[in-house]
């Protein structure tokens, strides 16, 4: 009996010590896109600062919003795209970043700062950016493809993979019509309808998770995919040509932001400053070849990496960005659902 | 416990209210049902009359518009198609599953458990994994295509994937065990002397099947139809993965409201209507089943 009591006591002490340790352990909770932050970078950060990064992932902005607004997790850092940053700022959900702790912001190309989603650059720091690309398997498609009109000319019906993203689909149609893609009005939706009615039946697969697999497998010959996926395809095999559509494009700016209630704000700022270092930022670029907004990091990339047309398309920094469309999302959802059903 | 006592207990038990010990044993189940069925459904019901704000958060202000939106031809059309796909899936599962279930039910006990195991083995592997396996089997240069080419049964590339055919195939594959297992339970209990009696009294095999075997296995058929029909209306993963997300089903529409569209109230309204539809279907089928008996 005595020994059992003794061991219980020891266990209690050990537990107490463990609890103490966890309280003292420095950590930061990062809620980021899946396949976007290399483990190597998190390890280096821990090695240097002793701060553990708990990396939780999401696959879409909407999934992230559900968890963040639902109050799940004590997130210190989140990686929303620009139109979500805009909504979060408006709703007062983000903390102002103390840029005295983030001097490395000077490494960011000014073209990506003070954009409409954060005009005073108080709440966000660009992480990676990119423009939607058209990817063509040049072994199977010999004719030149320059934009959406070529992709949906009817010649490639049943050979196309497209992002399964309602707002993107509408945007491509509005750009082809020369209209403002941020004006999601009933009039613009009506104008885009006949064009999308012609386009959607030509798509073989809608996939937002991994459209590149369908191109690699040879299921399809043309794709409209996320910028990072296009860059990976081109890196794997040069037969995949990446094209910025002539009708126009938009640049997605994924940023690091700190939620209003973040429990580890100082650590979060330290992390942002850390990944803005050129030698760290270049590691992210190598793992996930999106467009790197960090000018100093770009200087460390090889000429071949810089020549990847999906990573660094011409003029990407001057492209416009998405604005939040709020409740109009329901109209876009209905339009695409209707058109898909009709096909 | 002696056998006769147990039997008297049972006959009386049907009318008698459960004693304390009975309630105690029931408590975990009741708690589970309350926490994970009643409460979520109540939340869904409340949400379905709410609105969404710019960020997609639920605002507690009453509106009936979510239900009005369901009556839009767009969504009614999709619901109609989902019902049609589910009906087709159920029919195929029944036609394929019935002989299998009957065969397993009538086999000698030793073989029976082996066969049953074979039906259940797929459940040990994640549903998503099995669906991805279908993708690699059916893709243009996949195994099935190579096999058909080798046997000179197919000239061009195999073009099944990302079509309605693939969706039906995926649905039938996914839900077939749910048809086989309940019919098997009925077929196993089937008294062979009944079939023999029918044959002795001059019924041919067809008549014995339609007038004796089918009615005796009806509870299994009823359970199987319900277990296949109801979930296949709401399925969204198969349509997304094997159908290329081209033709939306009602399950995809609902999923979209909680994802991309961030319109939880509308999604909740769809869910509640859906639930009502299930309840009515169940009541209808059950009532008919009772009436026939």
State pLDDT tens for residues A150-163. Answer: 999 999 999 999 99
Return the minimum-mean-pLDDT range out of A10-24, A74-88, A174-188, B251-265.
A10-24
Of B65, B172, B195, B184, whose CA–CA distance to B115 is shortest?
B184
Q: Which residues of A touch B141 (CB under 8 A)?
A: 217-218
The pLDDT assigned to B8 comes to 43
Q: Which residues of B touch A91 (CB under 8 A)?
A: 54-55
One domain, residues A99 and A177: no
pLDDT at A331 over 80: yes
- For residue A4, being part of any structural domain is answered with no
Exposure b/e, B162-190, CB count within 10 A at least 16 = b: bbeebbbbbbbbbbbbbbbbbbbbbbbeb
How many whole angstroms separate alpha carbon B160 and alpha carbon B150? 18
Averaged over A171-183, what is the pLDDT?
Answer: 96
Tokens of A306: 């810089």
Averaged over A162-177, what is the pLDDT?
Answer: 95
State pLDDT tens for residues B45-80. Answer: 999 999 998 888 899 999 999 999 999 999 999 999
How many whole angstroms separate alpha carbon A80 and alpha carbon A33? 8
What is the three-class DSSP state of A28? strand
One domain, residues A293 and A242: no
pLDDT at B3 over 80: no
One domain, residues A175 and A34: no
Give the gyration radius of chain B's Cα atoms: 24
The pLDDT assigned to B280 comes to 86
- For residue A37, being part of any structural domain is answered with yes
pLDDT at A138 over 80: yes
Report how many domains make up chain A.
Answer: 2
Q: Name the pLDDT band for B14 (thresholds 50, 70, 90).
A: low
Task: Please name the member of B55, B139, B259 whose beta carbon is closest to the beta carbon of A69.
Answer: B55
**Comparison of pLDDT for A50 and B290, the residue scoring more:** A50
State pLDDT tens for residues B18-36. Answer: 788 888 999 999 999 999 9
Contact B261 A65 (CB under 8 A): no
State pLDDT tens for residues A17-66. Answer: 444 444 457 999 999 998 899 999 999 999 999 999 999 999 889 889 98
Q: Which residues of B touch A327 (CB under 8 A)?
A: 52, 54
State pLDDT tens for residues B216-246. Answer: 999 999 999 989 998 999 899 999 999 999 9
Exposure b/e, B241-266, CB count within 10 A at least 16 = b: bbbbbbbbbbbbbbbbbbbbbbbbbb
Task: Please name the member of A91, A219, A337 whose beta carbon is closest to the beta carbon of B140.
Answer: A219
- What's the CATH number where A36 sits? 3.40.190.10
Q: Which residues of A touch B54 (CB under 8 A)?
A: 87, 90-91, 324, 326-327
Q: Which residues of A touch B256 (CB under 8 A)?
A: 333, 337
Angle at A59 between CA A185 and CA B250, to 5 degrees: 60
- For residue A38, being part of any structural domain is answered with yes
Mean per-residue pLDDT of chain A: 91
Minimum distance, in Å, between the CA of residue B223 and any CA atom of chain A: 31
How many whole angstroms separate alpha carbon B235 and alpha carbon B82? 9
pLDDT at B83 over 50: yes
Q: Is the backbone of residue A178 left (phi > 0), alpha (psi -120 to 50) or beta?
A: left
Task: Please name the member of A204, A326, A327 whose beta carbon is closest to the beta carbon of B244.
Answer: A204
pLDDT at A12 over 60: no
- For residue A331, being part of any structural domain is answered with yes
Contact B248 A164 (CB under 8 A): no
Minimum distance, in Å, between the CA of residue A267 and any CA atom of chain B: 28
Contact A217 B139 (CB under 8 A): yes
Q: Which residues of B touch A223 (CB under 8 A)?
A: none
pLDDT at B39 over 80: yes
Q: Which residues of B touch A326 (CB under 8 A)?
A: 54-55
- For residue A6, being part of any structural domain is answered with no
Domain span at A191: 133-249+321-342
Task: Please name the member of A165, A217, A341 whose beta carbon is closest to the beta carbon of B74.
Answer: A341
Return the minimum-mean-pLDDT range out of A97-101, A134-138, A197-201, B53-57.
B53-57
Nearest CA in chain B to A91: B55
Contact B262 A69 (CB under 8 A): no
- For residue A117, being part of any structural domain is answered with yes
Q: Look up the ipTM and state it.
A: 0.82
Q: Name the pLDDT band for B289 (thresholds 50, 70, 90).
A: low
Tokens of A209: 């998770």
Q: DSSP character for A223?
A: E
The CATH superfamily assigned to B61-292 is: MetI-like (1.10.3720.10)
Task: Please name the member of A164, A217, A332 whose beta carbon is closest to the beta carbon of B245.
Answer: A164
- The continuous run of DSSP H or E covering A252 comes out as strand A251-257
Contact B54 A334 (CB under 8 A): no
Residues of B with CB under 8 A from a CB of A: 52, 54-57, 72, 74-75, 77-78, 81, 139-141, 161-162, 240, 244-248, 253, 256-263, 266
Mean per-residue pLDDT of chain B: 88
Contact A66 B72 (CB under 8 A): no
One domain, residues A96 and A149: no
Q: Name the pLDDT band for B293 (thresholds 50, 70, 90).
A: low
Which positions ≥6 away from A30 have C-beta within 8 Å?
Answer: A37, A53, A54, A55, A56, A75, A76, A77, A78, A79, A271
One domain, residues A86 and A162: no
One domain, residues A229 and A193: yes
Query: Contact A131/A227 with Cβ under 8 angstroms?
Result: yes
The pLDDT assigned to B10 comes to 46
Q: Which residues of A touch B66 (CB under 8 A)?
A: none
One domain, residues A121 and A194: no
- For residue A87, being part of any structural domain is answered with yes
Q: Which residues of B touch A62 (CB under 8 A)?
A: 56, 259-260, 262
Of A297, A248, A259, A215, whose CA–CA distance to A88 is shortest?
A259
Task: Please name the member of B140, B162, B259 whose beta carbon is closest to the beta carbon of A60.
Answer: B259
The pLDDT assigned to B15 comes to 58
The pLDDT assigned to B292 comes to 61
pLDDT at A255 over 70: yes
Contact A60 B260 (CB under 8 A): yes
One domain, residues A198 and A264: no
State pLDDT tens for residues B88-98. Answer: 999 999 999 99
Tokens of B2: 């002696």
Q: Which residues of B touch A206 (CB under 8 A)?
A: 244-246
Which positions ≥6 away from A304 have C-beta within 8 Å?
Answer: none
The pLDDT assigned to A5 comes to 46
Tokens of B254: 């609902």
The pLDDT assigned to B20 comes to 87
Q: Which residues of A touch B131 (CB under 8 A)?
A: none
Contact B55 A334 (CB under 8 A): no
Nearest CA in chain A to B53: A327
One domain, residues A202 and A326: yes
Strands (E), chain B: 51-52, 58-59
- For residue A2, being part of any structural domain is answered with no
Task: Please name the member of A166, A203, A337 whose beta carbon is closest to the beta carbon of B74.
Answer: A337
Q: DSSP character for A123?
A: S
Q: DSSP character for A200?
A: G
Minimum distance, in Å, between the CA of residue A168 and any CA atom of chain B: 11
Averaged over A229-254, what is the pLDDT?
Answer: 94
**Comparison of pLDDT for B138 and B16, the residue scoring more:** B138
One domain, residues A297 and A337: no
One domain, residues A154 and A188: yes
Query: Contact B90/B225 with Cβ under 8 angstroms?
Result: yes
pLDDT at B44 over 70: yes
Minimum distance, in Å, between the CA of residue B81 and any CA atom of chain A: 9
Residues of A with CB under 8 A from a CB of B: 60, 62-63, 65-66, 69, 87-88, 90-91, 164-166, 203-207, 217-219, 324, 326-327, 329-330, 332-334, 337-338, 340-341, 343
Minimum distance, in Å, between the CA of residue A334 and any CA atom of chain B: 8
Q: Name the pLDDT band for A72 (thresholds 50, 70, 90).
A: confident
Q: Name the pLDDT band for A7 (thresholds 50, 70, 90).
A: low
Computed from CA positions of residues B181, B186, B187, B188, in that sequence, does the dihedral angle turn out positive or negative? positive
- The continuous run of DSSP H or E covering A270 comes out as helix A265-275
How many whole angstroms separate alpha carbon A19 and alpha carbon B75? 53
One domain, residues A144 and A291: no
3-state secondary structure B110-172: HHHHHHHHHHHHHHHCCHHHHHHHHHHHHCCCCHHHHHHHHCCCCCCCCCCCCCHHHHHHHHH
The Cβ of residue A138 has, within 10 Å, a number of other Cβ atoms equal to: 16
Tokens of B239: 């349509």
């Amino acid at each position: 009996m005595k020994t059992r009591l003794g061991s219980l006591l020891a266990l209690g002490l050990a537990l107490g010590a463990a609890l103490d340790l966890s309280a003292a352990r420095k950590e930061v909770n990062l809620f980021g896109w899946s396949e976007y932050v290399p483990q190597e970078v998190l390890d280096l950060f821990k090695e240097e600062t002793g701060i553990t990064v708990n990396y939780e992932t999401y696959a879409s902005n909407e999934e992230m919003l559900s968890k963040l607004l639902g109050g799940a997790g004590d997130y210190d850092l989140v990686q929303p795209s620009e139109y979500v940053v805009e909504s979060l700022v408006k709703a007062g959900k983000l903390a102002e970043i103390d840029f005295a702790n983030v001097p490395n912001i000077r490494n960011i190309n000014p073209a990506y700062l003070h954009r409409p989603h954060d005009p005073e650059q108080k709440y966000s720091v660009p992480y990676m950016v990119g423009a939607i690309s058209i990817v063509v398997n040049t072994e199977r498609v010999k004719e030149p493809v320059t934009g959406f009109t070529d992709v949906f000319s009817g010649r490639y019906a049943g050979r196309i993979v497209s992002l399964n993203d309602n707002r993107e689909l509408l945007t491509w149609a509005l750009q082809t019509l020369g209209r403002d893609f941020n004006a999601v009005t009933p009039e613009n939706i009506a104008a885009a309808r006949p064009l999308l009615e012609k386009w959607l039946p030509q798509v073989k697969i809608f996939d937002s998770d991994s459209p590149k697999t369908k191109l690699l497998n040879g299921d399809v010959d043309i794709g409209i995919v996320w910028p990072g996926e296009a860059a990976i395809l081109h890196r794997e095999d040069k037969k995949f040509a990446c094209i910025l559509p002539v009708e126009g494009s938009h640049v997605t700016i994924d940023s690091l932001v700190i939620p209003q209630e973040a429990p580890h704000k100082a650590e979060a700022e330290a992390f942002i400053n850390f990944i803005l270092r050129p030698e760290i930022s270049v590691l992210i670029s190598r793992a996930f070849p999106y467009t790197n907004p960090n000018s100093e990091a770009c200087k460390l990339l090889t000429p071949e990496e810089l020549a990847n047309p999906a990573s660094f398309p011409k003029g990407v920094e001057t492209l416009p960005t998405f604005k939040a469309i709020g409740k109009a999302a329901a109209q876009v959802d209905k339009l695409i659902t209707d058109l898909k059903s009709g096909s | 416990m002696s056998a006769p006592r147990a039997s008297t207990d049972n006959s009386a038990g049907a009318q008698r209210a459960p004693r304390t010990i009975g309630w105690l044993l029931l408590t975990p189940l009741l708690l589970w049902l309350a926490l994970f069925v009643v409460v979520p459904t109540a939340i869904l019901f409340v949400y379905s009359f709410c609105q969404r704000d710019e960020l997609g958060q639920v605002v507690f202000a009453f509106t009936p518009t979510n239900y009005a939106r369901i009556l839009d031809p767009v969504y009614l059309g999709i619901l109609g198609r989902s019902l049609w796909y589910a009906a087709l899936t159920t029919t195929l599962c029944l036609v394929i599953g019935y002989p299998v279930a009957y065969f397993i039910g009538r086999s000698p006990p030793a073989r029976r458990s082996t066969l049953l195991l074979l039906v259940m083995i797929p459940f040990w592997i994640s549903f998503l994994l099995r669906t991805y396996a279908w993708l690699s089997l059916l893709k243009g240069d996949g195994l099935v295509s190579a096999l058909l080419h080798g046997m000179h049964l197919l000239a061009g590339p195999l073009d099944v994937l990302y079509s309605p055919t693939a969706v039906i195939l995926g649905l039938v594959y996914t839900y077939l065990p749910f048809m086989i297992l309940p019919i098997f339970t009925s077929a196993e209990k089937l008294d062979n002397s009944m079939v023999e009696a029918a044959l002795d009294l001059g019924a041919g095999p067809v008549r014995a099947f339609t007038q004796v075997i089918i009615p005796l296995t009806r509870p299994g058929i009823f359970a199987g139809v319900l277990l296949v029909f109801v979930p296949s209306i709401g399925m969204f993963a198969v349509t997304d993965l094997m159908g290329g997300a081209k033709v939306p089903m009602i399950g995809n529409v609902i999923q979209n409201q909680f994802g991309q569209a961030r319109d939880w109230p509308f999604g909740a309204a769809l869910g509640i209507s859906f639930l009502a539809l299930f309840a009515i279907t169940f009541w209808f089928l059950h009532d008919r089943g009772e009436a026939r008996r």
